[in-house]
Amino acid sequence: MTLAPPGEAAARPGQAAAPDVLAFLRGRPLVVLTGAGLSTDSGIPDYRGPNAPARMPMTYGEFVSGPDAQRRYWARSHVGWSRLGTARPNAGHHALARLEATGGVDLLVTQNVDGLHEAAGSRVLALHGRISDVVCLSCRAISSRAALQRTLERLNPGYAATHAAALVRPDGDVEIDETDGFVVPGCDCGGALKPDVVFFGENVPPVRVQRSYDAVEALAGRDGVLLVVGSSLTVMSGLRFVKRAARLGIPVVIVNRGPTRGDEHATYTLDDGCSEFLTALAG
């Protein structure tokens, strides 16, 4: 183990300078995996970035435990949606859309549920779904989160304004302790409504995983690179693709503020802002 001098951070495996990483990537086919760090410049906080406070999102098991947990989730989400719904793509999202338009990106995979890649014009595989959709846990019908928001506003007049100062969290909800009086509608079939996103403790749909694996594996023999931007890779939903690429000898480049769980598998790591790096890469 290499120890850093007192007061200095230890170098990450493969740590490189931005010009070297940019030169390495240019002209190569890319599969890009993005995480919450890409959306911080749009005003959406992340869970594990530098100085991020400790936050524990609601798990799938907790959500399906009954009406009390669902009421708590939707009350918090109702307040948070008014802010998440106004977020706009930042320079990093737009840079990736330009790269994709010029044929430089084989597949853009995101762990984010905020829909900002789509708003910037990208075609994206959303591993964890989209917060803009709602699913019934009984009949599996998909409906609009915006429509549900209007219903929540009608059933809970003034609730969002009362809690306007609550701290926003990365998955679009806020920190509110008292939610007992909040009214939550059900589906027309009587089932419970859930955001159509993958909660902690819930599995990513296999078809999304396989499509991502296929894209990574297709980089082999083409001088392609797996580029990870703004993800700590703490959860396996993203780390598995880094591990697959490394096993196949496909270069991995990780751009993130702070170390990640995938650094040991990376060809290069770069401690840099997502928007700045992607803007430079798109040219």
Report which residue type is found at 36.
Answer: A
Is 128 one of the annotated active-site residues of the chain? yes
Structure tokens at 104: 């430089």
For residue 80 the two structure tokens come to: 């948070």
Burial of residue 93 (CB within 10 Å: 0-12, 13-18, 19+) is buried
- Cβ(219)–Cβ(226) below 8 Å: yes
Count of beta carbons in the 10 Å neighbourhood of residue 46: 21
Q: At what angle do helices 236-247 and 206-217 cross, to 10 degrees?
A: 30
Q: Is 189 annotated as a binding residue?
A: yes
Does 274 count as an annotated binding residue? Answer: no
Closest C-alpha to 182, from 174, 190, 170, 172: 174
- Packed helices 18-25 and 274-282: angle between N→C axes, nearest 10 degrees: 50
Choose the catalytic residue: 78, 94, 117, 128.
Answer: 128
The catalytic site residues sit at 128
Instruction: Mark the binding-site residues, compressed into ranges.
Output: 136, 139, 187, 189
Instruction: Mark the binding-site residues for Zn(2+), compressed into ranges.
Output: 136, 139, 187, 189
